[in-house]
Amino acid sequence: MNWTALSVFILFFIFVTVLGFYAARWRKGDLTQLDEWGLGGRRFGTVVTWFLLGGDLYTAYTFIAVPALLYGAGAMGFFAVPYTIVVYPFIFVVMPRLWSVSRKHGYVTASDFVRGRYNSSTLALAVAITGILATMPYIALQLVGMQAVISAMGFKSTGLAGELPLIIAFAILAVYTYSSGLRAPASIAIVKDIMIYITIIVAVIVIPMKLGGFGTIFDSAKDALSTHNPPGAFILGKGSFMAYGTLAFGSALALFLYPHSLTGVLSSNSRNTIKKNAAILPAYSLVLGFITLLGFMALAAHVNVKSGNDAIPALFLKMFPDWFSGFAFAAIAIGALVPAAIMSIAAANLFTRNIYREYINPNCSAKQESSMAKLISLLVKVGALGFIIFFPKEYAINLQLLGGIWILQTFPSVIIGLYTNWFNRWALILGWLVGMVSGTMMAFSQDMKSIYPLHLFGSTVAGYAALYALILNFVVAIVLTFVFKAMGLNNGKDQTVEEDYKAA
């Protein structure tokens, strides 16, 4: 047991726990209202939103898995950097429209918007189920990142001794999220991001100095990758360009369809807050580039681990004094708690608004709605924790890959829906179904890998399965919309008008 690292880790964990409980008093509101509990009263300004979205998108699993991919496979791991660059212009253009119409009509989730736009509870249900399915394994993966640092400090990776710290951490998270709602992860995100920045700045200065500079790191990483089975690529080969590009582009389109990302957007206090954040969030992309390079640093430092997820904790223990390793591990662990809290809140909002209120208790009061959301947020965390404890980690990883494929199938309903309601609602439902089924089949045919080799006109084009499934989704939705319109089958009444999407 590394007692020095563990002591520093516990100290910072206690600090954020106190902060989480105190958050209920921060910008105090009536937490018996879903808007207040689940969206922080829609009052977060530029700075808080920046930290919240940063804490939402750059998770513990990002800190662990992205450099692990570089450590194991090489250049393909860099796909995460361009996709976060592509996504911010997308946010700048699209998300203010969603914010405006949601503010006007009191929408809490993307499914609320779809319900109002197409007057279809069935399409809204499809979007809600997809969001919950895609979110659950994402929460579980935050635990994978937390497990990696807990193991690095000396706890067993299996058995009760290994699971107990995880159970305690998530029990505390569940309680302060229940009491404080979105305010808890928003306040903790500020601490988490400052700690992440400090860790990365120190890492990119100290580790290269100890290893002889970046030139030596790149040379050593190149040599190490060539010995892998199969060999890793230090420079991306021509045959991988399409896979790399579609993976980056598809991931960018999918990122802000996830319920937790949209929750961060809808909690903002204005359209301009979203636009400002789209302009300054690329600062995180710079940090992500350095995080990714940690994979090459681990190779150059001759870090040998059974799982790539253990590479970065092992690198920190090798390169830093124990007290700073404890600080870095606390940053990663808190980086798991923040997004896990937001994800559980987002999933709870979806269930409460679009399943419970729509189908189970249509006449529920605002207090009942908020109480149900709080209860579901607890159950979601328990489910994610049970998933990690009782099932192999690979299940969560594979399901998260499916999550990206699934969530992208809501693009026509949500994103295209912000600009037009030309699509027929039943065409969108059938297009979604085709996309979900085809995307899932592609992933299973490749042993749950996200790259699918599409055989087209005698050639093979390897690309991101989610994009291929989305193309099928669009084709079905477009063709059937023409067919249904020709049959005289029209949409129901649209609750929104064009002015709802513009600046107030």
**pLDDT score recorded for residue 499:** 93
**pLDDT score recorded for residue 24:** 66
What band does 29 get if pLDDT is binned at 50, 70 and 90? confident
Residue 143 neighbours by CB under 8 Å, 6+ apart: 166, 170, 336, 340, 384, 385, 388
**Regarding predicted confidence, which is higher, 87 or 385?**
87
Cα 198 from chain centroid? 22
Helix (H, G, I), strand (E, B) or coil at 463: strand
pLDDT in tens, 138-178: 888 888 888 888 888 887 766 666 677 778 888 888 888 88
What band does 65 get if pLDDT is binned at 50, 70 and 90? confident
Which listed CATH number (3.30.2270.10, 1.20.1730.10, 1.10.287.950, 3.40.50.10320) goes with 26-401? 1.20.1730.10
Of 12, 65, 43, 52, residue with least CA distance to 277: 52
pLDDT in tens, 235-292: 888 888 999 999 999 999 998 999 999 999 999 999 999 999 999 888 888 888 899 9
Helix (H, G, I), strand (E, B) or coil at 451: strand
pLDDT in tens, 466-500: 999 999 999 999 999 999 999 988 788 899 999 99
Instruction: Report the percentage of the chain scoring pLDDT > 70.
Output: 97
Crossing angle of helices 80-105 and 282-300, rounded to 10°: 150
Residues 211-236, mean pLDDT to the nearest whole number: 90
**pLDDT score recorded for residue 182:** 87
Amino acid at 358: E
Helix (H, G, I), strand (E, B) or coil at 161: helix
Rounded CA gap, 98 and 267, in Å? Answer: 12
Please confirm whether the linkage preceding 321 is cis (ω < 30° from 0).
Answer: no
pLDDT at 504 over 70: no
What band does 3 get if pLDDT is binned at 50, 70 and 90? confident
pLDDT at 38 over 80: yes
What band does 385 get if pLDDT is binned at 50, 70 and 90? confident
What mean pLDDT, rounded, does the chain reach?
A: 88
- DSSP bridge partners of 464: 451
- DSSP bridge partners of 462: 453
What's this model's pTM, rounded to 2 decimal places? 0.91
**pLDDT score recorded for residue 20:** 80
Residues 336-349, mean pLDDT to the nearest whole number: 90
User: Do 329 and 196 contact (CB within 8 A), yes or no?
Assistant: no
Backbone dihedral region of 193: left (phi > 0), alpha (psi from -120 to 50 degrees) or beta?
Answer: alpha
Q: What is the DSSP string of 186-243?
A: HHHHHHHHHHHHHHHHHHHHHHHHHHT-HHHHHHHHHHHHHTSSSPPBSS--GGGHHH
pLDDT in tens, 90-148: 999 999 999 999 999 999 999 999 999 999 999 999 999 999 999 988 888 888 888 88
Q: Rounded to the nearest 10 degrees, how much is the dihedral formed by the CA atoms of 439, 295, 259, 398?
A: 40
**pLDDT score recorded for residue 325:** 93
